[in-house]
Structure 1
């Protein structure tokens, strides 16, 4: 076969536009060295890319709401602030993990929008269920991804603990002020009642003295009313006046319960280091396979690209070399 046979052949009188693929394969086989050179160049470029391009590794962790023991300090404080009523632990657990989710999402957005973006994600681990949560971080090495993810989780946990501690501090201050005002009101009312009682006895004593009633005129004290108090006699009323002034104030039972609550609140010392907003289902993993660059896939694509470019070069060169313009 002569050199002129390298041009594209057409066969079949009924379809002159049909390409002779066997001829194309023969052309490529004769120029296999040229095609191999293109493949080698592509493979070398791919190798350089694989060893030079930044590596990406993804570490993953799975979290859920904290155990009751991880928020004991917060729940105990909430119980004291409510006057001893048991705190709804389940509601607090869900509220805390939701705050963690929101704060972690905010951190993810911040890292993505910085000058050198970092890929930190949070999502549900099971589709259709709010918990557990799956968090991931993409780093430049397996160790870096694992360590950084653990640091970001701890950072958000400490942030939520500080927020919970701040909430307790605000609630403690507010509750202390509220109870103090209620106690002051009850003390004022009790003092007014005592003053009124003393005034009533003093008036009855004056009436008894004017009526010259020295001894009790009734057999049963239950029969004595405010208007007939003078019937107890001057001697008894004088004794009552003397002792009433030194008599302690009388408070309702609720007063002493509030006093106890106030004392309990004063002893509260929330510790944010004992508050946690999550529990590990799976700790940050040490990734085994990197996300990119993938050596195997990159090499396969490089070989295919070299074959395409080499084949295109050979066929185009032969077509141009044997091109004969129409007369």
Structure 2
């Protein structure tokens, strides 16, 4: 008996809920025209939004460090400047793409802070790896997004090329000045050595004349020192002075190596258009699907909102009428 009462109590507690749900659904069904009007209204609003909303399309490109051939002129110039035939080309490639990344990020920040912001991004394409880089641009049309992205990549490429040329010219001027000063110092030392040699011979000639030594007094000149140079005789010493005066300066091997390096540096000519700071892994794409507004999603949301608000309006209206009738 007790068990039956419990079942009856449970049934009585569940039944009102079932009845409430049925009642609610029946009320909504009776007000289906109002719900439909809400849905149609929100569909119209969604249509207006879709017609006036600014479209957004995203073009994507993937780039990596430049090939050796794309910076061959610059790397050769750096090799000449450093006087090293095995200059680190891989290091140059990394530095160049690093400068490209930094300059592109700066441009992205500048565009984002405009009165009418433009969305330009650069990030790693593969997580955990510095290269390749993924760059994107969001435009009002698919063609505009693709075109603008290509333009901005080219703009930064030209900027980096110009910066590299300016740095190179500064390095060339500095290195040229250093080499010219080094050659000048070596020439002065060679001239001083020549002048000293002439003075030494002139001093020996003066001693030879005072000692009345006219002809050589030694047979082997290898044994003649600075102190005994006068023994070569005044005639030989006068001839030596004339010969030393007209004799070209004598330079060490390092002088000619420095001279060669200077001549090589003076032949450096690198044009900005022959330098590229990146290599395309994937060129800017022409987007097929726009980012926003999404027609399907917008319409689905409009239908759901219209249905929910319309149903809510019907239920609230019925509740208000019921309370008025009871009053």
The answer for the alignment partner of 2:122 in structure 1 is 122
Shift of the alpha carbon at 1:259? 1.2
Rounded Cα–Cα distance in structure 2 between residues aligned with 1:243 and 1:214: 18
- How far the C-alpha of 1:12 sits from its partner, in A, is 7.0
Alignment of 1:18-33 (within 5 A): 18=17, 20-33=20-33
CA distance 1:16–1:29, change in 2 (3 Å): closer
Question: What corresponds to 1:73 in structure 2?
Answer: 73
Q: Deviations over 1:46-96 (max 9, x none)?
A: 111112100000000000000000001111111111225432100000000
**Comparing 229-238 with 126-135, which one deviates more in the overlay?**
229-238
In the alignment, the residues of structure 1 paired with residue 84 and residue 250 of structure 2 have an alpha-carbon distance, to the nearest angstrom, of 24
- 1:17 Cα deviation from its structure 2 partner: 8.7
Q: Which residue of 1 aligns with 2:113?
A: 113
Instruction: Using the TM superposition, name which of 37-46 and 157-166 deviates more.
Output: 37-46
Distance 2:93 2:216 in 1: 67
Mean Cα deviation higher: 168-177 or 12-21:
12-21
Counterpart in the other structure of 1:34: 34
Count of aligned residue pairs for this structure pair:
317
Which residue of the partner structure matches residue 261 of structure 2?
261
Report matched runs for 1:1-327 at 5 Å.
14=13, 18=17, 20-323=20-323
Alpha-carbon distance in 2 for matches of 1:199, 1:154: 67
Between 1:275-284 and 1:316-325, the stretch displaced more is 316-325
Tell me how far 1:39 sits from its aligned partner.
0.6
Structure 1 position 98, deviation (Å): 0.2
CA shift at 1:194, angstroms? 0.4
Distance in 2 between the 1:308 and 1:14 partners?
A: 28
Superposed CA deviations along residues 194-248 of structure 1, whole A, max 9, x for unmatched, are 0000000000111112112222222322211122211222221111001100111
Hey, what's the Cα distance between the residues in 1 that align with 2:29 and 2:11? Answer: 24
* Unmatched runs of 5 consecutive residues or more in structure 2: 1-9
Query: Secondary structure of 1:63's match?
Result: strand
CA deviations 1:234-290 (Å, max 9, x no partner) are 221111001100111111111111111111222222201101100000000000000
Please identify, of 207-216 and 138-147, the stretch whose mean Cα deviation from structure 2 is larger: 207-216
CA distance in structure 2 between the aligned counterparts of 1:214 and 1:18, rounded to whole angstroms: 143
Report SS of the residue matched to 1:323.
helix
- Cα 1:200–1:325 shift into 2, 3 Å: farther
* Partner SS state of residue 216, structure 2: coil
Q: Which stretch of structure 1 is more off in the superposition, 76-85 or 58-67?
A: 76-85
Question: Does 148-157 or 15-24 show the bigger shift?
Answer: 15-24
Q: When the two structures are superposed, what TM-score results if normalisation uses the length of structure 2? A: 0.93
Residues 71-126 of structure 1 deviation map (CA, whole Å, 9 limit, x = unaligned):
01111111111225432100000000000000000000000011000000000000
Instruction: Point out the more displaced range, 80-89 or 29-38.
Output: 80-89
Tell me the residue number matched to 1:7. none
Structure 1 unaligned regions, length at least 5: 1-10
Task: State how far apart, in whole Å, the 2-side matches of 1:257 and 1:195 are.
Answer: 24
Name the structure with the higher helix share. Answer: 2
- The 1-side partners of 2:123 and 2:175 are apart by 37
Q: Distance in 2 between matches of 1:116 and 1:34?
A: 42
- Give TM-score scaled by structure 1 length: 0.93
SS in 1 for 2:323: coil
